[in-house]
């Protein structure tokens, strides 16, 4: 009888172990690919700047288009979900990449005067926050703040593509 009881516990622990190992398959996943941090120089700064401007505009347009669609369809929570679950994680990945470039190339970036691009890109997160607060809380002040930043920052960033 005592042996049967011990076998039940052993079987229970084996099943739990199997379950935990099946759920915790973290070791099977390959680490995320990290894009190599670019070393900027005279020969690649123009193309880097153009690509950075295009990415800024595209990232901002994704956010603004989602906001406008949500506003038109009166689905503020869908915008918030999109912003929180899709846009922000993608934005943070890109922001981390650009922060790495800034850190690695800080003196060169200051010399060629493109640091405002990095600042505007990092600040884009606030536009998303203001749009979120504006649509969820129906806060006109937040919406005006967001719209002002969108217009101003877009103008400044596009000035670097000339």
Query: Do residues 127 and 63 touch, judged by C-beta distance below 8 A?
Result: yes
Sequential pLDDT tens for the chain (162 residues): 555 455 554 444 444 444 444 444 444 444 445 568 899 999 999 999 999 999 999 999 999 999 999 999 988 999 999 999 999 999 999 999 999 999 999 999 999 999 999 999 999 999 999 999 999 999 999 999 999 999 999 999 999 997
Which 8-state DSSP code applies to residue 113? T
Residue 37 domain-assigned (yes or no)? no
Residue 9 domain-assigned (yes or no)? no
Query: Do residues 83 and 100 touch, judged by C-beta distance below 8 A?
Result: no
Residue 3 domain-assigned (yes or no)? no
Domain count across the chain: 1
Residue 4 domain-assigned (yes or no)? no
Residue 24 domain-assigned (yes or no)? no
d(CA 144, CA 138): 11
Token pair for residue 55?
Answer: 């990415």
The phi, psi pair for 37, rounded to 5°, reads -75, 120
pTM, whole model, 2 decimals?
0.76
E strands present in the chain: none
Q: For residue 66, what are the domain limits?
A: 45-161
Residue 2 domain-assigned (yes or no)? no
Residue 81 domain-assigned (yes or no)? yes
Contacts of residue 114, defined as CB under 8 A and 6 or more positions apart, other chains included, come to 45, 49, 52, 160
d(CA 162, CA 146): 25
Residue 154 domain-assigned (yes or no)? yes
């Amino acid at each position: 009888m005592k042996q049967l009881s011990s076998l039940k516990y052993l079987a229970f622990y084996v099943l739990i172990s199997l379950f935990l190992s099946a759920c915790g398959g973290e070791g099977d996943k390959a680490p995320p690919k990290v894009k190599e941090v670019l070393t900027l120089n005279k020969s690649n700064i123009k193309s880097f700047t153009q690509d950075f401007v295009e990415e800024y505009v595209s990232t901002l347009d994704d956010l603004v288009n989602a906001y406008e669609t949500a506003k038109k369809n009166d689905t503020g929570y869908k915008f918030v979900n999109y912003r929180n679950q899709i846009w922000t994680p993608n934005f943070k990945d890109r922001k981390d990449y650009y922060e790495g470039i800034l850190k690695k190339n800080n003196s060169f970036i200051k010399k060629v005067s493109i640091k405002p691009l990095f600042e505007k890109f990092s600040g884009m997160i606030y536009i998303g926050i203001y749009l979120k607060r504006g649509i969820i809380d129906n806060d006109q002040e937040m919406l005006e703040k967001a719209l002002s930043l969108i217009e101003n920052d877009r103008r400044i960033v596009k000035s670097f593509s000339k």
